Structure 1
Amino acid sequence: MSTSSTQPAAASPLVVRAAAPRTVPTPAPVAGLVWRPLTLADATALTALVGRVEDADEPPYRTSPDEVLEWLEGSWKDLARDTLGAVEPDGTLRAFGFAEVSPGDVSIIRAYLHGGVDPARRGQGIGRGLLHWLDARGRQLLVESGRDAPARLMTFLENDSEAERRLYAAGGFAPRRWYTTMRRDLATPSPQASLASGLRLVPWGEELDDAVRLAHNEAFADHWGSQPRTAEQWRSGRPAFAPGWSFAVLDDDAAEDGRPAVAGYLMSARFEHDWPVRGYTFGYVSQLGVRRPWRGRGVAVALLAAAMDAYRADGLEHAVLDVDTENPTGAHGLYARVGFEPTSGSVMYSIEI
């Protein structure tokens, strides 16, 4: 379904291809609104605005205050230059935008663009103006990364978000990659799992965290669009992390830095604020990876079974995950075989540079 199965080709230097403007013009004035950068002090107002946007658009999730705060934090982010808000005279925040380049990107430089407009102020051109600003700032960030590689401006949209998809399409973005949300009823017993000799499943522990990060970077190196994560980025990307529902598989016969190698890992998240929206309780598989030398040895199924057992033990009704529909490891088929069924989906829109 993807319109492109390869990374964009770098035909000329990124500084040329990105066509970044020297300055990013503030969107055109809209009656009663003042455009300004966001700050940490806006976290409460931003959370309220995101709530109004999500209540109107009805995505299958809700963004928690901790997740919103995470948008504003990170040493690689410059809020004064990479964010924008539209504020009423009384201080009510009516629109927001974020542009961000991941610090670990190497072989493809990605500028993530994210924004929203209060339902009470839609239809006034605010979204178009905000997207033009995001596009321009994203191009600047690609150049400012100092790296010369294929690049993209990108955002993720729900499959049924027709208005947003029209907006981004009008801005030159095209659908590039599709993702499926899948659910598994925990009333059905977990799949039978048998690990190959020398492998053992262990609960997640703090001492494993960086080894799991490195295993993740390696496991996803052959996944479309994936890039390495720095230590800071890795630890900042999981406000709902549930260590009690997370596991790793170690290989005692393959030592790395004097310790058993991490063959695979599964990290879970607890999104309780999404349970009323979905209409059921669930544990979320946020990261699941198996390094190439250990694929085909029962690692993924053992990890999934352990997570399902942990979710069930805590009284949850379902397991949920998201998967790239063209995942090169065949993950989509694996999840279907162990009982996961599709429920909804999202799409990545991008401009390839």
Structure 2
Amino acid sequence: MSETTAAPPAPTDDPARTDGPAPTADLAPIADRVDAPAHLDPPAAALGLRWRPITGADVPALHVLMTAVEEADAAPFRTDVDEVAETLEGGWKDVPRDSLVGLDADGVPRAWGFVEVRPGDSRTVRAFLQGGVHPQWRGRGIGRALLAWQEGRGRQKLAESGKAVPARLVVFVEDSSAGTRRLVTAAGFSAVRYYRAMRRDLAVPLPDVAPLGGLRVVPWSPDLDDDVREAHNDAFRDHWGSEPATVESWAGGRSKFAPAWSFLALDQTGDRPVVAGYALSSRFDQDWAVNGYTSGYTGTLGVRRAYRRRGVAPALLVASMSAFRDDGMQYAELDVDSENPSGALGLYTRLGYEVVHGSAMYSVEL
């Protein structure tokens, strides 16, 4: 099994999306629908590895393993040590029950798997499956066995949610990882969403943006971060595959967050500022050598429903691109859901972004 990582929400700005969750009839509780195993064994010892839960002490060795997987799969990114540690962090995560690492005879990690269900999921409960097998240990059935364990644990976690809404097992696969694509397809997963990574050459002059009519673009500030979370939940509540972020989950995964590259659009006409839109960016230095250029990455872009069709998204992106350029970056990057009917792909193309690679979300719908 090659490494698979969950993608961030796709940037978007649309006043009347039609890709929100469709109304559903009353469903039975997830526990009655997902066929969760009562008992779950790790992959067989006959495959050559000894299995146990991941611990914090494994982070450095897991980083080495993930790098080997990403290099073998020609991934356009590298996961650094801080990001590996973040995989295990979060009060909603049950790492002893939701993770496995496979050790060889010398105690070196050769495979790993993790299952996560995020705490805010309310419309569709999702179990994200991440993992990888060292390239020298592939072709032995380890990936199939690890994915089967992850699917079983995912079904258990979905059942444990106690909710009566749709449920989904999720694996994200880079286009360059043909092995993972074959693996998950053989296991019954189907591609349900496609994403495109885009970049914009910052040597090309930035476009002018129209005045925002009472809104002001300002740098991100920590005192407004929970307001940004609430704006995000509003902006994405009609977006396919998105679920509300809780206070804790919103604060997680910030090791690469770049406050100086992140901007808010504020409506200050009332008693207190209202976050109308936001562009939150990150700095992935470890990817620059892999891709051959420096860049800033806008990971989350959103506009509240009441402020759409006013040019907020272009203004925020240009503010971020200007900050990237001022700090010597060569490119601006982002990801987009290619099936989003909001016209986001066209917006980014008009701003000068070009597609450079892609990925897909594979799922089992339950």
Query: TM tier, shorter chain?
Result: over 0.9
Unaligned runs of at least 5 residues, structure 2 = 1-18
* 1:156 is the counterpart of 2:168: no
Q: Is 239-248 or 185-194 further displaced after alignment?
A: 185-194
**CA offsets, 1:131-171, max 9 Å, x none?**
00000000000011122210100010012311111100111
1:138 aligns to what? 154
Shift of the 31–325 alpha-carbon distance from structure 1 to 2, 3 Å rule, reads closer
2:301 aligns to what? 288
Alpha-carbon contact 2:47-2:141 (below 8 Å) kept: no
Aligned AA (2:113): G
* 1:172 is the counterpart of 2:188: yes
Alpha-carbon contact 1:222-1:328 (below 8 Å) kept: no
2:232 aligns to what? 216
Deviation at 1:30, TM superposition (A): 3.3
1:101 aligns to what? 117
2:93 aligns to what? 77
Shift of the 13–147 alpha-carbon distance from structure 1 to 2, 3 Å rule, reads closer
1:346 aligns to what? 359
Matches within 5 A, 1:4-43: 11-43=27-59
CA distance in 2, matches of 1:8, 1:154: 21
Matched residue of 2:339: which SS? coil
Aligned AA (1:159): D
Aligned AA (1:337): R
Alpha-carbon contact 1:60-1:274 (below 8 Å) kept: yes
Matches within 5 A, 1:243-322: 243-253=259-269, 255=270, 258-322=271-335
2:79 aligns to what? 63
Percent of matched pairs sharing the same residue: 54
Shift of the 32–172 alpha-carbon distance from structure 1 to 2, 3 Å rule, reads closer
Alpha-carbon contact 2:76-2:290 (below 8 Å) kept: yes
> Aligned pair count?
347
Deviation at 1:15, TM superposition (A): 0.9
Aligned AA (1:38): I
Q: Is 143-152 or 314-323 further displaced after alignment?
A: 143-152
Alpha-carbon contact 2:127-2:154 (below 8 Å) kept: yes
Alpha-carbon contact 1:7-1:225 (below 8 Å) kept: no
Unaligned runs of at least 5 residues, structure 1 = none
Normalised to the residue count of structure 1, the TM-score between the two structures is: 0.95
Alpha-carbon contact 1:176-1:348 (below 8 Å) kept: yes
Aligned AA (2:92): W
Alpha-carbon contact 2:20-2:239 (below 8 Å) kept: no
Deviation at 1:31, TM superposition (A): 4.9
Alpha-carbon contact 1:8-1:151 (below 8 Å) kept: no
**CA offsets, 1:204-250, max 9 Å, x none?**
11111110011001101111010001111111122200000000000
Alpha-carbon contact 1:7-1:108 (below 8 Å) kept: no
Matched residue of 2:163: which SS? coil
Aligned AA (2:36): A
Deviation at 1:5, TM superposition (A): 8.6
1:330 aligns to what? 343
Alpha-carbon contact 1:30-1:126 (below 8 Å) kept: no
1:110 aligns to what? 126
Deviation at 1:6, TM superposition (A): 5.7
C-alpha RMSD of matched pairs (Å): 1.5
Alpha-carbon contact 2:27-2:165 (below 8 Å) kept: no
Shift of the 325–8 alpha-carbon distance from structure 1 to 2, 3 Å rule, reads farther
Shift of the 68–133 alpha-carbon distance from structure 1 to 2, 3 Å rule, reads same
**CA offsets, 1:162-198, max 9 Å, x none?**
1111100111100000000001000111121123321
Aligned AA (1:313): D
Deviation at 1:70, TM superposition (A): 0.4
Deviation at 1:41, TM superposition (A): 1.1
Deviation at 1:89, TM superposition (A): 2.6
Deviation at 1:7, TM superposition (A): 5.8
Deviation at 1:28, TM superposition (A): 1.5
